[in-house]
Amino acid sequence: MKKSPSNDLIIVLESLRNRREFLKLFAKGFGYSALASALPACGGGGGGGGNPGQSVQTAVIPQASSEYTALKRTSYGVHRDALSAIQNMGIDAYLEEQLDYTQIDDGNLEGTIQTLFPLTRQSPAQLIGGFPDNIATIAQQMTGATQYRQIFSRRQLYEVMVEFWSDHFNIHLLNGLGPTLKPEDDRQVIRTHALGNFRDLLHASAKSPAMLFYLDNFFNLASAPNENYARELMELHTLGVDGGYTETDVKEVARCFTGWSIRFPGDMSGNYGTFVFVPAVHDNNAKVVLQNTISAGGGQSDGEQVLDILATHPSTARFIATKLCRRFINDTPDQASIDAVSAAFTQSGGDIKTTLRALFATDAFRTSADQKFCRPAEYLAGLVRALAPDTPYPTDNGVLFFFAQSIMGQLPHYWPTPDGYPDKQGYWASTGGLLNRWRLSFLSFATVIPPISVFQIDYTTLLGGANTLAKIVDALTSSILMRPLSAADRSHILDWLVDEYGQAENVGLPAGTPELIAPLVAAVLVSSAYFQLR
């Protein structure tokens, strides 16, 4: 774990204070009254009393289609076009296409990233030149690039795995020199190997200057080893806390990694932020790691041998398989799924695509649905993908979304401790977590509220000509939720609209009115459990 970044974070947030005021405007829900006055013949008053005798349906949330569920689990929210594609080609072919991600045409997405978020492409040596004045900009651009890809990339499964490994090998961006180091780690470690081989990923991470700095290994000396990296390497990156290592193993592994360091600012070679092995501070005596002898005099290879021991250890296969099943299936995956995925991991020598194929073939993945509460990143990207499938990129270069994800507590690379953002719904489905999503659901008003019109919602298309309250609910259920409402919930929403607008459900509304009503209906739909389950 690492010290608190709170002071650095404050710097970032302070530098954007004006924007924060602007966010508050939308976060509490804005300007609804202006809208209401534009509506015809508001019923007013409503009539209290409630309806306590109403029966509750037993089928609480009707299951979505299997194609919807497969998409929801492997993407950042169901996009209309992706749903058509998976319906046409079938789930297997779709997932196979997603695994072969380099063959998916992503248009000029990376060119756009280069233009909008150039600092994410820079090396530590380039970034240190503007440090620390560039901290806030780096933070915004790292978030912006991540969100941009999650929303717009057609390589959705790849982006899901990028996030998965970013959490697994978590590095806090705002941690000392971290802002200058993490962008390269993101490119060279995480994005390079996200659908590659686990052993390669592990070796790349171990030599990543961002990781060496974050977990203090840069200062791991033979004279007094620093155990931080050694412990988290086994607990979090490979074996898992119950993976069978001892406190002695922690000390021995720490000794193996003595001398693994980085070149610091002002390095004479001009290679700031690159990996360096310093033989003078390496412990060259023999070590024993998990009953394997590491011979004396191995130098840098000591650590490399440890990584290979760990990468091929059965506990690692089990640990990675469990985490993948937890990500793609549910919080407490069944043993049969874990065993199947673990076996594929071992037999393929840690090939991540082969491992995922095994996971996608499990009964649990194929037959269950609605087992998890999507995390904030999925919620936010999912809002755009559902409400505005054809929108161009936000005109504010992502500033609004930076704050939106900040409020929800899942800014990319901002989790301070090395275990990464939690992947259990008990953490996210809290009172505060739900409230924040409800507030953000009012992004559905982006068409009519100038300060947040950063992406374009086309309600005319989403409504498809619906001109009564009943048709509005049905059309938006189909175009935004893309899964059926229960009869009870359809009634709840419709009764509320009838009450709120003083119009019977099947009465034709004046032209233009459905588009004014739609944002509030959309806010309710994306606030519901329907939209947040996967």
In this chain, which of 155, 263, 323, 439 binds another protein, going by CB under 8 A? 439
Give which of 199, 99, 185, 168 is closest to 420, Cα–Cα.
Answer: 168
Nearer to another protein (CB atom), residue 194 or residue 407: 407
Give which of 235, 187, 231 is closest to 208, Cα–Cα.
Answer: 187
Region 7-46 residues binding another protein, contact defined as CB under 8 A: 7, 10, 24, 27-33, 36, 46
Helices (H) and strands (E) in the chain, counts: 30, 4
Span near another protein by CB under 8 A; candidates 94-102, 295-303, 416-424, 446-454: 416-424
In this chain, which of 279, 297, 432, 512 binds another protein, going by CB under 8 A? 432
Cβ atoms of 384 and 83 closer than 8 Å: no
Contact string (CB under 8 A) for another protein, positions 177-216, x = contact = ---------------------------------------x
How far from the centroid of its chain's Cα atoms is residue 87's Cα? 25
Instruction: Tell me the closest approach of the beta carbon of residue 526 to another protein, in angstroms.
Output: 11
Question: What would the two tokens of residue 199 be?
Answer: 């052993």
In this chain, which of 183, 225, 398, 412 binds another protein, going by CB under 8 A? 225
Percent helix, strand, coil in the chain, to 5, is 60, 5, 35
Q: For 367, phi and psi rounded to 5 degrees?
A: -110, -20
Nearer to another protein (CB atom), residue 157 or residue 212: 212
In this chain, which of 224, 268, 280, 511 binds another protein, going by CB under 8 A? 224
- Give, in order, the Cα–Cα distances in Å from 26 to each of 23, 386, 400, 450, 457: 5, 19, 10, 10, 16
Q: H helices within 43-134, ranges in order?
A: 66-74, 80-89, 91-99, 109-116, 124-127
Region 103-122 residues binding another protein, contact defined as CB under 8 A: none
The residues near 318 (Cβ < 8 Å, ≥ 6 apart) are: 240, 243, 338, 342
Contact string (CB under 8 A) for another protein, positions 55-94, x = contact = -x---xx---------------------------------
Span near another protein by CB under 8 A; candidates 189-197, 262-270, 472-480, 485-493: 485-493
In this chain, which of 158, 428, 455, 459 binds another protein, going by CB under 8 A? 428
Does 235 bind another protein (CB under 8 A)? Our answer is yes
Cis peptide before 52 (omega within 30 of 0): no
Instruction: Tell me the closest approach of the beta carbon of residue 333 to another protein, in angstroms.
Output: 17
Region 390-409 residues binding another protein, contact defined as CB under 8 A: 407, 409
Nearer to another protein (CB atom), residue 162 or residue 369: 369
Angle at the Cα of 424 from the Cα atoms of 422 and 428, rounded to 5 degrees: 80
User: What is the rounded CA–CA span in Å between residue 428 and residue 440?
Assistant: 15
Contact string (CB under 8 A) for another protein, positions 266-285, x = contact = --------------------
Does 167 bind another protein (CB under 8 A)? Our answer is no
Does 426 bind another protein (CB under 8 A)? Our answer is yes
In this chain, which of 121, 438, 453, 468 binds another protein, going by CB under 8 A? 438
Nearer to another protein (CB atom), residue 321 or residue 485: 485
Does 53 bind another protein (CB under 8 A)? Our answer is no
Instruction: Tell me the closest approach of the beta carbon of residue 101 to another protein, in angstroms.
Output: 31
User: What is the rounded CA–CA span in Å between residue 476 and residue 486?
Assistant: 14
How far from the centroid of its chain's Cα atoms is residue 257's Cα? 31
Rg (CA), the chain: 25
